Amino acid sequence: MTKIEFNKDTKFSMKHNKKTDRIMQNILLIPTVLSASFVLMILIFISQRGVAPFLPSEYGNESVNFLRFITGVTWYQPPNSYGIFFIVVNTVFVVALSSLIAVPISVFTALYIAKMTPKPISKFFQTIIELLASVPSIVFGVFGLGVITKVVLWIASIFGLQTAGGISTLATVFVLAMMILPTITLLSITAINSVNLDLEKNSLALGASKMQTYFKVTLVSAKSGIFAGIILGIGRALGEATAVSMVAGNAGSGPSFDLFSTTRTLTSTMLLGLKETTGLDYDIRFSVGMVLILLIILTNLGLNYLKKKVGRFS
Amino acid sequence: MKHSKRRRLDFLFQGVITITSMIGLFLLIAIFAYVFKQGSGLLSWDLLTSDYYATTYDTYYSDQLGDEVFEKPSHLDESVYFSSKWGIGFSTALDNEGKSYMLIAYIDSNSPLRILPDKNNEGEVVEITENQALLKVIFTNYTIIMSSEGPENAANLFDAADGIIDMITTTSGKGIRGSIITTLYLIILTLIIALPIGVLSAIYLREFAPKKSKIVEILRRLIEMLTGVPSIIFGLLGAAVFIPFTSTFTAADGGNLISGALTLAVIVLPVIITSTDEALKVIPDDFRQASLALGATKTQTTFKVVLKSAIPGILSAVLLSVGRIIGESAALIYAIGTAIKDQIILTERSTSLAVHIWSIMAGETPNFELASAISIIILAVVLVLNLIVKFIANKLSYESRTS
Amino acid sequence: MKKILLTLSIIIVAIALVGCSTTSETTSATTQTTTSIDQTMEVTVYTRDTTSGTREAFFSGIGFSAASGDNTVLVDGYVEVDGNGSMISSITNDLYGIGYISLASLTDTGLNGLQFEGVVASKDNVLNGTYGLQRPFNYIVREDWTGMDTESQIIEAFIAYMNTVDGKATISNKHGIVETTVSDSLWDNIKSNYSVCTEDNSSVTIYFGGSTSVESVAKALSAEFTTKCGNFIPEHNHTGSGDGFTRTQGSEADGANKIHIGFASRDFKESEAYAEGTTGLICLDAVVVVLNGENSILSNITSEELRKIYSGEFTTWADLLG
């Protein structure tokens, strides 16, 4: 409203001028602070709900035993005992395996796109990877349940093993690997592209083959950027919910390292059997959410520490 | 000797890398091939426009039945059982969930059942048409047709009867109209909430924020952290904050579209802020200087000159957000719920297309066909949006190179 | 020219890849169908979650009540599924699976439904009591109807409807087991007693909830009854037998999840202290033990065998066949 006034008045003083800008600056601070506050809101409100099950007299019955919650190897024992330790172990196991599959594929794909192919093909492949990155989780879930579980069933039958309809640790690993592949690939491409071309040229001039150069010079120099991609990918894998819930099964106890048996991750625990919207069985999922947030933060810190160490070596 | 060995090794590596890099392409094609194979049969205008829940009709027949004997049309095969007395044929069909039901496969244009009085609304009529399902008939001779006993039995009982006390038919249902409307509502509401907040925040951070301020740096970090939060955690935020919030200020009672839109708004905020910020970043400083030199305030400069040049960037932010909203499932399961609805009310539960898939896959028998048909829609929209964004980005970088 | 060649080669690669994928799918399908039952394989044990009425009926029916509400007494590696539907799809995919479902959902599944103690699960055997794995479907309505006058009258009419010829036909159409008697009346003959049904109720929502097993029966009843009773809006949110009581007369009776009528696929427990005259029987249902459709090495199973499978005493199919 004040703006219109200024438009009419062309001869305002410089001081007046500064004043509107300062007002505007303060007005604009409001949405910015609001945007920034959501992370804090997540931490505060989820913790508030997540802690409630462990506090006395919140649900009429006895409160959930916190020690048993963090060490438990059975998800639910009536009437009010929950255990999450094996779920954390399973989650880490599944995510670790899926990154073991996804990382080499992603790095090779990135190398291929960035270095080994002429522009039109590389552009085409990059677009494909970008599109894969935009496929929603629920579609991966439908694909996972419809195709990946059948593939797992087929693999199991080759080895003469049993699996509950293909719904298994392995299916979860495959689906997660598919989902983090584009994330890691895209960041690796950026990292590889930002490697100084002179380094490669020098290496080639010294008589190294192209492949030697790629592996010993390019990838080594892009190491830190690729690692950043891996960290992002692992973060995504830890928090991925819908697709995982559809292929993980709902194992009641564990931990299980059998690739062909059902498993249970933190996120699948939060989504499966979600029928109530009140009461202990609902609120305990906020506690699981807290553990998930904690796990993601710890993983991030750990991997970043590792990244710094690896970076120092070169 | 050593040289040739190395060349062989090189060749091997090159081969391995080339093959591995096909995996991404292969996966994308496999996903498309699968959802198309499963879902394209179901994908029709009817699916998009019809209700999820079937409409039930309740009728009767009390007139004197004529002597006309109807002929079974020759195009009907043996799977259709025909009542020559009433001119109607039944068969067994499978619904979208793979369950069998009794279909009215044929009804003669002169059949006495063609137009029947609506039993519960005097003066109104019900049109019995092919493709309706027959659930139950109670005849005046007290025999009862139940759909579970099959079409042959139904045709026989019709032939033996002279009047109908109660006849219940339904439309097929299982359409996704409600979920499409919900998705559209969510897109509009979310953008109304998130776009101003996001764009203004980006403007503040890029144009107005004091440089080298610690507080601004913290704000920036906090906003960046939002991108790393998994969507299910946003769902918990919706359940813990936005559902109680909307329940207090609106007629809502539990999960609703507004709490869903608020949750989605938080999810797309970082997308909008980053994308707008990127757009503001590439605007040459000359623009700003020129405007300021002409005596415009920073406010005028920002909103008239800078923002105008940032419009393509904001547009991509909108498109990316729409893609994210359409694909989002985990957060909405918590922030709205999973109840599929036909009548969409802002303060009540309903499902977006993605949650509709979750609902039918996680609930009773997983329904791959319907899930894949909806997946095709979601994929098509999301991929087209992404390609447009890429096109805009290419065009921008081309323009900035040439200018 | 080069570009065209490139595009062409890409398309060829793509087609080859798709070809690969489809062949691999078909081979997996064929290996599935040609596999015969290997008796050294373990039995995959499927169970419903602890809130399920089907689970309670099953475990109390085989004399293993300890497992009704407790997973820890079950064999290691059991698989828990959260609905009749997911039980069906899991066992359809698992040649070595064993589970239990409601008789109502057995038709069309292609699963191998077993006799229990030598008795076929059929309507007659349930009604005359010879089939042991059976349970009642009960309803429970609110006790406190304050401010819900119309709703209360609609529910009253609904309960009357369940006992008419019309209602019983619908219940048995959904495979609920009801005894029909000559004294059953037609809805048309008694509807004049329920004046609420002549009014326009299209703005009234009736909330149904409770057992998931009763869901299909309840939905079929409400879908046709709404046309007969002023087009009220039936809203179903079935979450398990326990909530049938909790949300009508228990702790959630006045909360956001309150319902007008709830269902339980079991008898009400002692802890569920309902008010006199607020409950009743709708029909009976049988629980059937099922195997994969291609697994025909068994046609009958006893409660002792089931106890041993579910407690982990028997682990392989050879154990079971002795």
**Does A178 contact B at CB distance below 8 Å?**
yes
Q: How many of the other CB atoms lie within 10 Å of CB of C188?
A: 16
Which of chain A's residues have a Cβ under 8 Å away from the Cβ of C29?
A: 150
**Does B127 contact C at CB distance below 8 Å?**
no
For residue A12, pLDDT over 60 is answered with no
Where residue B289 falls among pLDDT bands split at 50, 70, 90?
A: confident
Residue C22: predicted pLDDT: 43
Whether A42 and B297 lie within 8 Å, measured CB to CB = no
Are C201 and C150 contacting, i.e. CB atoms less than 8 angstroms apart?
A: yes
CA distance A245 to A263: 10
- List C-alpha distances in Å: A15 to A3, A6, A89, B67, C83: 15, 13, 63, 99, 71
For residue B178, pLDDT over 60 is answered with yes
Q: What is the pLDDT of residues A84-131, one digit of tens each?
A: 999 999 999 999 999 999 999 999 999 999 988 888 888 899 999 999
Residue C256: predicted pLDDT: 74
Whether A289 and B24 lie within 8 Å, measured CB to CB = no
- Counted across chains A and B, CB pairs separated by less than 8 A come out at 253
Q: In this complex, which of A37, A46, A245 lies closest to B240 when CB atoms are compared?
A: A46
**Does B109 contact A at CB distance below 8 Å?**
no
Pick among B233, B268, B381 to test the A interface (most A CBs inside 10 A): B233
Q: In this complex, which of A150, A253, A273 lies closest to C49 when CB atoms are compared?
A: A273
Q: What is the length of chain A?
A: 314
**Does C28 contact A at CB distance below 8 Å?**
yes
Provide ipTM, 2 decimals: 0.89
Which of chain A's residues have a Cβ under 8 Å away from the Cβ of B269?
A: 35, 38
For residue B337, pLDDT over 60 is answered with yes
> Which residues of C, range 188-217, sit inside 8 Å of B by Cβ?
188
> Tokens 């081979």 sit at which residue?
C27
Q: What is the pLDDT of residues B299-329, one digit of tens each?
A: 888 888 888 888 888 998 999 999 999 999 9
Q: If you measure CA to CA, which chain B residue comes closest to C90?
A: B365
User: CA-based Rg of chain C, rounded to a whole angstrom?
Assistant: 24
Which of chain B's residues have a Cβ under 8 Å away from the Cβ of A11?
A: none
Q: In this complex, which of C22, C169, C256 lies closest to B138 when CB atoms are compared?
A: C169
**Does A43 contact B at CB distance below 8 Å?**
no
Q: In this complex, which of B58, B120, B339 lies closest to C237 when CB atoms are compared?
A: B339
Whether A39 and B6 lie within 8 Å, measured CB to CB = no
**Does C187 contact B at CB distance below 8 Å?**
yes
**Cβ contacts of B314 within 8 Å, gap of 6 or more:** B195, B199, B272, B275, B276, B279
Q: What is the pLDDT of residues B100-152, one digit of tens each?
A: 789 999 999 889 999 999 888 888 888 898 888 998 999 988 888 888 888 89
Chains in contact with C, where contact means 3 or more Cβ–Cβ distances below 8 Å, are A, B
Are B310 and B283 contacting, i.e. CB atoms less than 8 angstroms apart?
A: yes
Q: What is the pLDDT of residues C137-157, one digit of tens each?
A: 999 999 989 889 999 999 999
Which of chain C's residues have a Cβ under 8 Å away from the Cβ of A167?
A: 90, 93
Question: What is the least distance, in Å, from the CA of A194 to any CA of chain C?
Answer: 26
**Does A267 contact B at CB distance below 8 Å?**
yes
Whether B58 and C227 lie within 8 Å, measured CB to CB = yes
* Average confidence score pLDDT of chain A: 85
How do B164-170 and B144-146 pair as beta strands?
unpaired
| Percent of chain A surpassing pLDDT 90 | 44
**Cβ contacts of B173 within 8 Å, gap of 6 or more:** B50, B51, B52, B53, B54, B55
Whether C82 and A276 lie within 8 Å, measured CB to CB = no
Are B359 and B228 contacting, i.e. CB atoms less than 8 angstroms apart?
A: no
**Does A153 contact C at CB distance below 8 Å?**
yes
Q: What is the pLDDT of residues C111-129, one digit of tens each?
A: 999 999 999 998 889 999 8
Q: What is the pLDDT of residues A60-87, one digit of tens each?
A: 556 888 888 888 888 887 777 889 999 9
Whether A151 and C3 lie within 8 Å, measured CB to CB = no
* Sign of the torsion formed by the C-alpha atoms of A263, A266, A267 and A272: positive
- The domain spans of chain C are 44-135+286-321, 136-285
CA distance B374 to B88: 34
Mean local confidence (pLDDT), B81-109: 85
**Does B230 contact A at CB distance below 8 Å?**
yes
Tell me if the domain spanning C44-135+286-321 has CATH number 3.40.190.10: yes
Residue C140: predicted pLDDT: 95
Residue A14: predicted pLDDT: 53
Which of chain A's residues have a Cβ under 8 Å away from the Cβ of B208?
A: 21, 24-25, 28
**Does B283 contact A at CB distance below 8 Å?**
no
Closest C-alpha to A98, from A212, A276, A242, A244 = A244
Q: What is the pLDDT of residues C242-292, one digit of tens each?
A: 888 989 998 888 877 789 999 998 888 888 888 888 999 999 999 999 999
**Cβ contacts of C42 within 8 Å, gap of 6 or more:** A162, C77, C96, C315, C316, C317
Q: What is the pLDDT of residues A188-238, one digit of tens each?
A: 999 999 888 888 888 888 888 888 888 888 888 888 889 999 999 999 999
DSSP string, B286-355: HHHHHHHHTT--HHHIIIIIIHHHTHHHHHHHHHHHHHHHHH--HHHHHHT-S---SS--TTS----HHH
Residue B117 phi, psi dihedral angles, 5° rounding: -70, 140
Q: Which domains does chain B have, with CATH numbers?
A: 54-170 (2.30.42), 177-402 (1.10.3720.10)
> Which residues of A, range 10-29, sit inside 8 Å of C by Cβ?
none
